[in-house]
Amino acid sequence: MDPQLLILFSGLVAVLAVASAVGHVLRRRVHSPEGQATVENLNARIRAWWLMVAIFAAAFTFGPAVTLVLFALTSFYCLREFISLTPTRPADHRALAFAFYVFLPLQYVLIWVDWLSLFSIAIPVYAFLLLPVLAVLRHETEEFLTRTAKVQWALMLTVYCVSHAPALLILDIPGFEGRNFLLLFFLVTVVQASDVLQYVFGKLFGRRKIAPVVSPNKTWEGFLGGGATAVLLGAGLSFATPFTALQAAGMAAAIVLAGFCGGLVLSAVKRSMGAKDWGTMISGHGGALDRMDSVTYAAPLFFHLVNYYFAA
Give the whole-angstrom CA distance, residue 295 versus residue 36.
Answer: 28
- In this structure, is residue 299 part of a structural domain? no
d(CA 59, CA 77): 17
Which residues have a Cβ under 8 Å from the Cβ of 145 and sit 6 or more positions away?
Answer: none
Q: Give dist(CA 303, CA 311) in Å, integer.
A: 10
Could you give the CA distance from residue 92 to residue 121 in angstroms, rounded to a whole number? 22
Each residue's pLDDT tens digit, 14-42: 888 888 888 888 888 887 887 787 788 77
pLDDT (0 to 100) of residue 282: 58
pTM of the model: 0.90
What value does the mean pLDDT take over residues 78-100? 91
What pLDDT score does 277 carry?
A: 74
Q: Residue 197 falls within a domain, yes or no?
A: no
Q: What is the pLDDT of residue 16?
A: 82
Does position 125 have pLDDT exceeding 80, yes or no?
Answer: yes
Q: What contacts 96, CB < 8 A, 6 or more positions away?
A: 83, 88, 151
* 130 found inside a domain: yes
Mean pLDDT in residue range 245-269: 95
Burial class (CB in 10 A: 0-12, 13-18, 19+), 118: middle
Residue 241 lies in a domain: no
Q: According to the model, what pLDDT value does residue 11 have?
A: 83
Question: Residues 93-105: what's their mean pLDDT?
Answer: 96
For residue range 143-170, what is the model confidence (pLDDT) as tens digits? 899 899 999 999 999 999 999 999 999 9
Residue 226 predicted with pLDDT over 70: yes
Instruction: Note whether residue 139 is domain-resident.
Output: yes
Average pLDDT over the chain reads 89
Per-residue pLDDT, 123: 97
Whole-Å CA distances, 173 to 163, 179, 251, 306, 311: 19, 9, 16, 9, 4
Residues 6 or more apart from 47 whose CB is under 8 A from it? 282, 283, 284, 285
Query: Where is average pLDDT lowest: 91-100, 229-238, 269-278?
Result: 269-278
Pick from 53-57, 208-212, 278-282 the range whose average pLDDT is largest.
208-212
Confidence of residue 241 (pLDDT cuts 50, 70, 90): very high
Q: Which domain holds residue 142?
A: 65-170
Separation of alpha carbons 1 and 157, rounded Å:
30
Least confident of 8-12, 17-21, 48-52, 259-263: 48-52
CA-to-CA dists, residue 3 to 30, 61, 209, 229, angstroms: 40, 11, 43, 26
Q: Is the pLDDT of residue 275 over 80?
A: no
**CA gyration radius for the chain?**
20
Question: What's the confidence (pLDDT) of residue 284?
Answer: 52
pLDDT bracket for residue 281 (50, 70, 90): low
The tally of domains found in the chain comes to 1
How far apart are the C-alpha atoms of 18 and 22, rounded to whole Å? 6
Cα 154 to Cα 37, 182, 189, 289, 293: the distances in Å are: 31, 28, 25, 11, 12
Residue 264, pLDDT above cutoff 60: yes
Predicted confidence (pLDDT) at residue 1 exceeds the cutoff of 70: no
- Is the pLDDT reported for residue 283 higher than 70? no
Q: Which long-range contacts does 200-203 make (Cβ < 8 Å, 24+ apart)?
A: 200/42, 200/226, 201/225, 201/226, 201/229, 202/226, 203/38, 203/42
What pLDDT, on a 0 to 100 scale, did the predictor assign at position 235?
A: 96
| 308 pLDDT higher than 90 | yes
Question: Quick check: is 100 in a domain?
Answer: yes
Distances (CA, A) of 283 to 1, 44, 45, 301: 30, 8, 10, 30
In a domain, 277, yes or no: no
Residue closest to 186 by CA, chosen among 241, 132, 230, 111:
241
